[in-house]
Amino acid sequence: MTADSQSASLYWQPRRDAAREALNQFLPHAGGHYARQRNFDRGPQDRDHVSRLSPWVRVRAISEPEIIRAVCSRHSPEAADKFIQEVCWRTYWKGWLEMRPSIWTDYVQAVRVAKTQWKDRPEYIEAIEGQTQSPTFNAFLHELLDNGYLHNHARMWCASIWIFTLRLPWELGADLFLRHLLDGDAAVNTLSWRWVAGLQTRGKQYVARPDNIIKYTEGRLGEGEVLAESPEPIMPLELPEPQPLPAFPECPVDERGGLIITEDDVSAREWLNQTHAVAGIFPLRAYQEAGIAASVVEFRQSLLQEAVAPEMVWNESESLADAVCEWVNRNALNYIVIAEPPVGLGQSVIEQLSVICDALSIPLYRQRHRWDEALFPYATHGFFRFRKKLPKIIRHWL
C-alpha cells in the first residue's frame, strides 16, 4: 500500500463527528467549484473538490437533509445545484429500487450463477486481481482494494471497461464493488452498473474512452489504452412497473417501545425518538454470505455501536431470538420500532425480527425516514422527471 493510499484509507473514520468535520471542510467547495471540478480524478491525494461523504451517508451517520441544509447555509440552492443533485441521485436510486425489488433479487441470483460459471476463468481472476491488459482498470482496482473508495468518474470508467472491453458479466463487477466499497449500497451500486451497461435506459450505455480518461485524470491514466469504443449493446429486458410503497402506521405514543437500530440508518435514534430501550442489530450473517470486505464490516459496525452506545449491538445468530426476548422482558416493552431497512442485505434483519416479534406476540413497527417518505414516490421514471420535483422539496427542508 502506498503512502497516499494509506492516508486516503484513514480518511473515513467510523465516527459521526468525523463526518461532520468532513462536511464542514468541504462546504466552501460545494458551489461553483464543485460544478467545475467534480469530474476530475487527480488521485487519492487530491480529492478536496469532491465531498467524500458517501461512506458516512451510506449509513446515515450524516443525513441528506443535514448535508443540504449545511450547503445552502453557504451557497444558494442554484449555485449548489450540481452538488444537491449528486446527493439526490442516491435517494433517486434507492427509491427506484424500493419500488422494484425484483431487480435486486434477480441480481443476487445472477451473481450466484455467474460466480459458479466464472470463478475459475483466468479473465475473471485477472480482473479481480487487477492484472488485466488495461492499466487504467488495474490502477483503479488496486485503489478500490486499498481504500474502499473510488471517485464517481472512475467507477463509471471501471464498469465500462469491465463490461465492454473485458467482456465480463456486469453482475460480477457490481458484486466486486459492493463487497469492497465503504459506501457500497444495493440500490446505488446495482443500478449504476445497470446504467453503464445500458439496462436502465434502453440504448444509453456508458462507453469509456481513452481521451476522456486522459482529460479527467489530467494525464495520470488513459495514455495508450485500447478500449472497446463501439461495443454491441446488451439487450435489456422490460423494466418492472413500480410498486406502491407500503404505508407504515404510526407508533403508539402511550406505550413502552423499544428501538432497534441497524447499520442502514444509525441516525434512527434522533428521528424515531424512542427512549425506553435501544439496541442494535448488525446483519453479519448476510454480510458474510455476500463476502463483504472486513474493512467495510468494521466501519459500519463501529458506527452502529457508536449510535447505540452504551447499549448492545447484536449480530444475526441463532441466539438472536433469546437476546431480543430478554431485552423486551427486562424493559417491559409493548412493541419494537425500527427504521425500515431498504432493499438489500439489511432486509434479513426485518425477516428475523418479524419472526421474533410474532413469537413474543408484540407488534413490530417499521418507519420510513421523512426524507425518503417525501422523495421516494417521485422515483417512478427517469432522474430528469425526479429532478424537477427537487426545488420545492429542498425548500421545505431548508
3-state DSSP assignment of residue 337: strand
Question: Does residue 186 sit in the same domain as residue 279?
Answer: no
Residue 226 lies in a domain: no
Is there a single domain that holds both residue 80 and residue 123? Answer: no
Judge contact between 327 and 256, C-beta under 8 A: no
Tell me what the mean pLDDT of segment 349-359 comes to.
95
Q: Is residue 388 part of a domain?
A: yes
Distances in whole angstroms, Cα of residue 360 to Cα of each of 64, 253, 258, 308: 35, 20, 13, 23
Q: What does the block give as the cell for 61? A: 451517520
> How confident is the model at residue 274, as a pLDDT?
66
Q: How far is residue 92's CA from residue 108's CA, in Å, rounded to a whole number?
A: 21
pLDDT at 35: 96
CATH of the domain at 386: 1.25.40.80
CA distance 108 to 291: 13
Q: What number is the average pLDDT over the span 24-41?
A: 96
Is residue 228, in this structure, part of any structural domain at all?
Answer: no
Tell how far CA 394 is from the center of its chain.
21
Burial classification of residue 97, based on how many CB atoms lie within 10 Å of its CB (0-12 exposed, 13-18 middle, 19 or more buried): buried
Residue 324, H or E segment = helix 320-330
pLDDT of residue 8: 43
Among the listed residues 350, 368, 370, 365, the one whose alpha carbon sits nearest the alpha carbon of residue 258: 365
Same domain assignment for residues 77 and 40: yes
**Does the pLDDT of residue 116 top 70, yes or no?**
yes
What confidence tier does 254 reach under pLDDT thresholds 50, 70, 90?
Answer: confident
In a domain? residue 103 = no
Q: Supply the DSSP symbol for 246.
A: P
Q: CA–CA separation, 289 vs 280, rounded Å?
A: 20
Instruction: List pLDDT tens digits, range 292-346.
Output: 999 999 999 999 999 999 888 999 877 999 999 999 999 999 999 999 999 999 9
Q: What is the pLDDT of residues 174-198, one digit of tens each?
A: 999 999 999 999 999 999 999 999 9
Looking at the fold, whether 122 and 168 belong to one and the same domain comes out as yes
CB neighbour list of residue 46: distance below 8 Å, 6 or more residues apart:
none
Q: How many CB atoms sit inside 10 A of residue 393's CB?
A: 16
CB 265 within 8 A of CB 60: yes
What is the number of structural domains in the chain? Answer: 3
Which CATH number do you get for residue 121? Answer: 1.10.579.10
Question: How does residue 394 score in pLDDT terms, banded at 50, 70 and 90?
Answer: confident
pTM of the model: 0.95
Is residue 232 situated within a structural domain? no
- 26 and 69: one domain? yes
Q: What share of the chain in percent tops pLDDT 70?
A: 97
Q: What is the pLDDT of residue 1?
A: 36
CATH of the domain at 274: 3.40.50.620
Is position 244 within any domain?
Answer: no
Q: Does residue 222 lie in a domain region?
A: no
Say whether 207 sits in a helix, a strand or coil. Answer: coil
In a domain, 105, yes or no: no
pLDDT in tens, 154-173: 999 999 999 999 999 999 99
Structural domain containing residue 133: 112-216
Instruction: Identify the pLDDT of residue 16.
Output: 96
In this predicted structure, what is the pLDDT of residue 247?
A: 94
Chosen domain end from 192, 216, 240: 216
324 and 283 together in one domain: yes
